[in-house]
């Protein structure tokens, strides 16, 4: 039965890819919104998580506004998937400037343009992180972290479609610190998301005023390697139109107390993410369980 389910999912994915490739950016956006509206109506558990997270953040308290933000968040996430699929063919070294506006300070751009300089880029589930990674890969090789799909057939299909030597993925739960250190030492950009629940491995850091278990690996990598680290995100501004914003490298003070230094870095990065989410609340993935007991 599992094999049959995988074959059905694989066939459905092939059909979806053909459909998305045949649609215009605006048509793909409409398809994504329609699918998301069904998901929002039928998926009570995720809908409740999203609405609960919006309330908890304090961004909205009126129930109609809470529901509106949550619903648009569902639409946006569906759009992240379709836009990322279209980006595989629409964003090339020659055409990406027609779709993406850059807002990057000179000191960060200099790091991107230095072939031998490694860089840590920290972001969250805001905007379209896949498009951001693809565009940045035109400046220097990008390594991201992601969990493999449960279906090996669809997983292989998607990896083959992306097929870029300049944008590669390493397992989400990889504990091979040596591999990450090698990535940075070889002059690549390591892109990590800060807002994934770290379970017992993380450090409790306030996120919109509520403690959340936060991964410490990126802060430790920065402290150990002294490789520059900055925060950034890529928001959608129209059909296949985006704005990629990056900040200046953070100035981390090393006190000799590693736990204090890590906490200071995490608090700064989390504050920058919160500010970005407040500016674009509909483009944040509220349906994931950032806070857990």
Note the pLDDT tens digit of each residue in 8-18. Answer: 888 988 888 88
Tell me how far apart the alpha carbons of residues 48 and 287 are, in angstroms, rounded to a whole number: 8
193 CB contacts (<8 Å, ≥6 apart)? 122, 123, 124, 125, 129, 145
pLDDT for res 31: 92
Q: What is the pLDDT of residues 259-280, one digit of tens each?
A: 999 999 999 999 999 999 999 9
Q: What percent of the chain has pLDDT over 90?
A: 71
Instruction: Taking each helix axis as running N to C, give the angle between helix 63-90 and helix 2-22, from 0 to 180 degrees, rounded to the nearest 10.
Output: 80
162 CB contacts (<8 Å, ≥6 apart)? 88
pLDDT for res 1: 79
178 CB contacts (<8 Å, ≥6 apart)? none
Lookup: tokens for 63 = 């129930």
DSSP lists the bridge partners of residue 207 as: 210
pLDDT range class, residue 200, cuts 50, 70, 90? confident
Q: What is the pLDDT of residues 161-191, one digit of tens each?
A: 776 656 776 766 555 677 788 889 899 999 9
Residue linked to tokens 């493999």: 148
**What average pLDDT score do residues 18-36 get?**
92
Left (φ > 0), alpha (ψ -120 to 50) or beta: where does 200 sit? alpha
Domain range summary for the chain, segments of one domain joined by +: 2-283
pLDDT range class, residue 123, cuts 50, 70, 90? very high
Q: What is the pLDDT of residues 68-120, one digit of tens each?
A: 999 999 999 999 999 998 998 899 999 999 999 999 999 999 999 999 999 99
87 DSSP assignment:
H
**What is the chain's mean pLDDT, rounded?**
91
**What average pLDDT score do residues 217-224 get?**
92
Nearest residue to 255 (alpha-carbon basis) of 223, 225, 230? 223
Residue 155's H or E segment, with its range, is helix 152-162
In this structure, the dihedral spanned by the alpha carbons of residues 181, 184, 186 and 188, taken in order and rounded to 10 degrees, is 140
Q: What percent of the chain has pLDDT over 70?
A: 95
Residue 139, SS3?
A: coil
**What average pLDDT score do residues 33-47 get?**
95
Nearest residue to 188 (alpha-carbon basis) of 237, 253, 116? 116
pLDDT for res 293: 63
């Amino acid at each position: 039965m599992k094999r049959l389910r995988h074959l059905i999912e694989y066939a459905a994915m092939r059909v979806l890819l053909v459909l998305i490739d045949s649609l215009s950016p605006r048509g793909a956006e409409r398809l994504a919104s329609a699918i998301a509206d069904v998901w929002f109506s039928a998926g009570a558990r995720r809908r409740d998580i999203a609405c609960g997270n919006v309330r908890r953040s304090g961004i909205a308290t009126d129930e109609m506004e809470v529901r509106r933000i949550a619903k648009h968040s569902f639409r946006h996430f569906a759009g992240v998937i379709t836009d990322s699929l279209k980006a595989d063919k629409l964003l090339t070294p020659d055409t990406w400037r027609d779709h993406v506006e850059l807002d990057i300070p000179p000191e960060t751009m200099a790091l991107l343009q230095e072939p031998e300089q490694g860089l840590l880029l920290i972001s969250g589930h805001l905007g379209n992180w896949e498009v951001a990674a693809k565009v940045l890969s035109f400046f220097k090789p990008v390594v991201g972290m992601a969990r493999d799909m449960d279906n090996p057939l669809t997983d292989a299909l998607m990896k083959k479609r992306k097929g870029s030597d300049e944008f590669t993925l390493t397992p989400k739960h990889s504990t091979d610190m040596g591999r990450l250190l090698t990535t940075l030492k070889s002059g690549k950009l390591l892109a990590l998301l800060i807002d994934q629940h770290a379970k017992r491995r993380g450090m409790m850091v306030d996120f919109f005023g509520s403690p959340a278990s936060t991964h410490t690996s990126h802060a430790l990598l920065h402290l150990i390697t002294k490789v520059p680290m900055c925060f950034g995100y890529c928001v959608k501004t129209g059909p296949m139109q985006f704005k990629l914003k990056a900040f200046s490298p953070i100035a981390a003070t090393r006190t000799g107390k590693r736990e204090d230094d890590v906490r200071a870095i995490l608090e700064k990065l989390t504050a920058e993410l919160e500010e970005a989410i407040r500016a674009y609340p509909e483009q944040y993935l509220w349906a994931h369980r950032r806070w857990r007991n």
